[in-house]
A and B are shown apart, each in its own frame.
Chain A
Amino acid sequence: MEAISEKAVTRLEDALGKENVYPDNPHRAVRAAVPSPFPVCHWEEHIPDIVVLPKTTEEVVEIMKIANEFKIPVVPRAGATGLADGAVPMRKGILLDIKRMDEILEIDDVNMTATVQPGLGMLELNKTLSRIGLFYPDDPASYPCSIIGGRIGSGGWSLMGSGYGHVPDLVISMEVVLPTGKVIRVGGGGGRKIRKSSVGYRLKDLFIGHSGTLGVTTEATLDLCKKPEAECPAYFGTGSFEESHDLALALERLGLKTMTAVVIFDNEKIEFLRRDDEAYIPQPKEVVSVVLALLYGSEGEVLAARKQVFETAVDKMKATYLGDEIAKGDWASRHDRYHITYHGRNAAGEVSMMSWHCEDAAIVHSELPYVRKKWHEIVKRYKREYDGYFDDWGMFMYTSNPFKAYGDYLTEVDIGVNELEMTPEIWQAFIKMKSEIAAVALEAGGSISTCHGGTRPGDVELACHQELAEGSFDLMKDIKKLLDPNNIMNPGKYLLDEAYQ
């Protein structure tokens, strides 16, 4: 604890109570990492100096004031499931864990809003909402474990987003504590619940997806919906990725309001899913790639849409319906498979413990085949060169246009990474692989990240100097410096240090 003075610790303890301030090793070491590949050999560099768990906005204000006075970095941490290192301390400092801010402040079932503190999970909120037939439709694959504040900090994507909207669409207004300790409210009109207004700048968007660099959300008013009456996840097997790509377009073009997602599983993904697993639902050999059409709505709407989907997929496009077992077993649960370290393989096909890394570029439909081809070439090359360190776990492509299941796709390649045996040299190779992957996304006119953020080494240089090159990054730096004069908020992210040079 060299970096933080005793005086600052005492001030934090006075402000929050000793029981909410943790200087001990386990509390600090456990909060060094998030699930994006973490080179175990670099752990020490990311251990925060102190962990605090505030309960109120006022306490967050106090933390900011102390941090400014003593010039200590503050890193917000919510569920710690972020995949772009957002909550990883780059300069140690105060780790501000928001999980004790977990109150539901109001549920308004007439105007369909919930106002919550940011430390609450979606699962927790929905447990309460389900009692009155309501639902908060933010449904990432990390649904049970990511947390509303982190969803906002990362600008999350929801599997149901092409039907119900993503996090930026679902947050109506927010209370934000700025790095200086000033409390502001963005969005929502005077009463916090207005979804559409044309007064002032769209400042709410500035505080969504900033990866904890501009302040701390301490309260959010969220848009609710009625829990959909019917759900139909229909999985279709095809003989190739190209067939799946065509089928996805045909499904998009049906123009169905109930179509909440179209998802493509490519050939490598299906091969990966066939690796030893107790939960795998076996598929015939002819199934090389898979398309999911996910429908939500009233019974009548879903029934009618289902008929059209089946006519298109089975009668016209000759895909094979994979049966109700998969629909019930819900292949979305296959997300769990990513993280089973035992699914990693070396060239000889032996188990090599690996963790999951996921790239999440946003790509338009027409460019998916190009990106897929290039990405697999890159990953397979690194897999060959660094046997037992990297592995190709296949690709998913999910519609990501809010409220409309067509156009953009969250395009994900999953890569096994042997973090435990990682050396600093191989870590550099990993970063290089990432930047090659990001470059392909930009070549295809895409964005480096749909929902995780472009904050990691390998991405960040391309994000700031290419994707955001036409003035955006310069403006970001100006805004950062304006709001955070002492660079205390999550410093070291998005190359924003450049703003202070």
Chain B
Amino acid sequence: MSEVYISKKSFYDTPLGDDKAVVPEMRRDCYAVFACRHKFCRDVCPVYFETRDETTGSYGLHTSILGMAEGHVALSDLQDTITMCLECGACELRCPNSLYTGDFYGQSTTLVDLVRKVRRDLIAQGTPPANWDAVQKYIDQDLEKENGPSDALVKWADDLDLPNAGETMLFVDYFNAGQTTDVPRNAVKILKAAGIRFGILDKPYPTLGELYESDKEKWMVYAAQNIDALAKAGAKTVILVNPHDYIFFVREYPKYFNLPFDVVYITDYLLSLFEAGKITLKNELPINATYHDPCSLNKHVLNWEAPRTLIEAIPGISYKADDHIRQWDYCCGNGLNSFKRLKPDVSYKIGLRRFSMAEEVGAEQLIVACPHCLDQFTEVKAKSGSSLEPVHILELIAKSMGID
């Protein structure tokens, strides 16, 4: 399944720069978006909804780079505008180039890859995106963890008695391991209750998207180490509990490496267990809820059914959510990688807008399937004083199964 979503435009490997010419393939590729008359990309962009500024987003960025090819814009002129992308992927889905002819001509629009490339090229020429220091600090902290004692990275699982090998491996990233530990802990408890034998790595390596869009080479070294460690642990199936990492494993890793194992997202895995009768959702949860699709799952790999099916199977739940297509223009505001640190004010506004939509359908709880959405919504709740309660789907499943 993952193969379908892997895109690679080799001309993206040629760096852009203030004193460099734009290669003809890049010029044509940007022109294809510039020449599209619809600008659907603008009208599904959560950043545009807040800023109303068409300079950013797919049309704006492709046009700016075409402008670079024609001598009207320099790479360093993009230091500000390049910060204005969540990498949520909505514009790619709605781009008529992708919709109508993309695959046929091999010319789908790949804005997310382009944003990452431009950020890297800006950093490489010493003119990083505005406010990049905040991101770099975060990257440095993450990499310090990798250098530090490895038991800190698996401390979240201290009392869970998990082996470090197995055919099925749960991959837990640094964010979940450090900040949203309940997410992997619930995953472990659910899997154990369903009778699954699985392990975790004794030392996972960084997967940080912020690193990917600044120092791809270093990120790839860690990617190789993760793949190697999982293979050595005997993995045939790797379960992910962070959808940001999941899409790296299914969309990015295969661009550079062969993966000797299958990769599955936790909600898909749990759905298969539920359908096989290994998970019973028995306890009633009389809550009034809605569901927020993570951009990474819903927009990057069109994965939206499993969380909905699981939520609907919880007895007693009152649940109302927009369909996945409507949610293409939503985002929690965190974005996939650097956005929240680059643009905290816009990030908060996007979160607030999502909150108000959830409140409008009368929800008291906002269910998420992503630790970053959970983190972002928790912050929005605290700042705004809303009574809406963000909750991770694994917590609800564990409760309904009767797990503490």
A residues whose Cβ falls under 8 Å from a Cβ of B: 22, 24-27, 29-31, 33, 35, 40, 43-44, 47, 53, 79-81, 83, 97, 99-100, 102, 119, 121, 123, 142, 144-145, 276-279, 336-343, 351, 353-356, 419-420
Contact = CB atoms under 8 A, between A and B. Distances in A.
A345 B54 CA distance: 31
A420 B67 CA distance: 12
B99 interface: yes
A338 B38 CA distance: 10
Contacts of A145: 38-40, 42-43
Contact of A420 (B28, B80, B102): B28
B101 A79 contact: no
Nearest to A145: B39
Interface of B: 27-28, 31-32, 34-40, 42-43, 52-55, 59-60, 63-64, 66-67, 70, 72-74, 77-78, 80-81, 96-97, 99-105, 107
B43 A144 contact: yes
A80 B74 CA distance: 23
Given A25-B73, A26-B67, A100 B104 contact: no
21 contacts: A25-B77, A26-B55, A26-B77, A26-B78, A27-B53, A30-B54, A30-B59, A33-B34, A79-B39, A81-B37, A81-B39, A97-B54, A100-B52, A123-B43, A142-B37, A336-B38, A336-B100, A339-B37, A340-B97, A342-B105, A353-B32
Given A145-B43, A276-B101, A29 B35 contact: no
Contacts of B60: 26, 30
A56 to B, nearest CB: 14
Contacts of B38: 81, 142, 144-145, 336, 339
A420 B104 CA distance: 22
Which 3 A-B residue pairs are closest in the complex by CB-CB distance? Answer: A35-B37, A355-B35, A29-B67
Contact of B99 (A30, A33, A336, A342): A336
Nearest to A358: B37
A40 B35 CA distance: 11
Contact of B72 (A25, A121, A355): A25
B30 to A, nearest CB: 10
B77 to A, nearest CB: 4
A26 B52 contact: no
Contacts of B34: 33
Given A29-B72, A340-B101, 7 more contacts: A25-B77, A26-B81, A44-B72, A142-B38, A340-B96, A340-B97, A342-B104
B73 A26 contact: yes
Contacts of A81: 37-39
B101 A420 contact: no
A353 B31 CA distance: 9
B31 A420 contact: yes
Contacts of A99: 52-54
- Chain B interface main SS type: helix
B353 to A, nearest CB: 12
A31 B42 CA distance: 14
Interface centre among B38, B60, B78 (most CB of A within 10 A): B38
Contacts of A29: 63-64, 67, 72-73
Nearest to B72: A29
A353 B72 contact: no
A342 B32 contact: yes
A346 to B, nearest CB: 15
A100 B51 CA distance: 8
Contacts of B53: 27, 53, 99
Nearest to A26: B64
A374 to B, nearest CB: 25
B67 A25 contact: yes
Contacts of B103: 278
Contact of B40 (A97, A100, A144): A144
Given A26-B81, A30-B55, A278 B104 contact: yes
Given A40-B70, A53-B52, A279 B43 contact: no
A30 B63 contact: yes
Contacts of B35: 339, 341, 353-356, 419-420
A364 to B, nearest CB: 28
Nearest to B44: A144
Contacts of B70: 40, 43
Interface centre among B31, B43, B100 (most CB of A within 10 A): B100
Contacts of A53: 52-53
B77 A339 contact: no
B52 A119 contact: yes
B59 to A, nearest CB: 8
A81 B27 CA distance: 22
A340 B72 contact: no
Contacts of A79: 39
B322 to A, nearest CB: 12
Contacts of B66: 40
Contacts of B81: 26-27
A337 B40 CA distance: 13
Contact of B107 (A26, A339, A342): A342
B64 A80 contact: no
A397 to B, nearest CB: 20
Interface centre among A35, A142, A342 (most CB of B within 10 A): A342
A356 B72 contact: no
Interface centre among A31, A43, A81, A278 (most CB of B within 10 A): A278
B32 A341 contact: yes
A43 B43 contact: no
A79 B39 CA distance: 9
Given A30-B55, A30-B63, A102-B52, A339 B31 contact: no
Contacts of B97: 340-342
Contacts of B52: 53, 99-100, 102, 119
Nearest to B102: A278
Nearest to B56: A26
Contacts of B96: 336-337, 339-340
A340 B36 contact: yes
A422 to B, nearest CB: 11
A127 to B, nearest CB: 10
Contacts of B42: 145
Contact of A27 (B28, B55, B100): B55
A120 B77 CA distance: 29
A340 to B, nearest CB: 5
Contacts of A144: 38, 40, 43
Contacts of B36: 339-341
A419 B36 CA distance: 12
Nearest to A35: B37
B100 A30 contact: no
A33 B35 CA distance: 10
B253 to A, nearest CB: 27
A80 B40 contact: no
Contacts of A354: 35
B40 to A, nearest CB: 6
Contacts of A343: 101
A24 B81 CA distance: 10
Contacts of B54: 30-31, 80, 97, 99
Given A24-B80, A26-B73, A30-B60, A277 B101 contact: yes
A83 B53 CA distance: 21
A102 B48 CA distance: 12
Contact of A278 (B27, B39, B74, B100): B100
Contacts of A100: 52
A340 B52 CA distance: 25
Nearest to B103: A278
B39 A30 contact: no
Contact of A43 (B28, B72, B105, B107): B72
A96 to B, nearest CB: 13
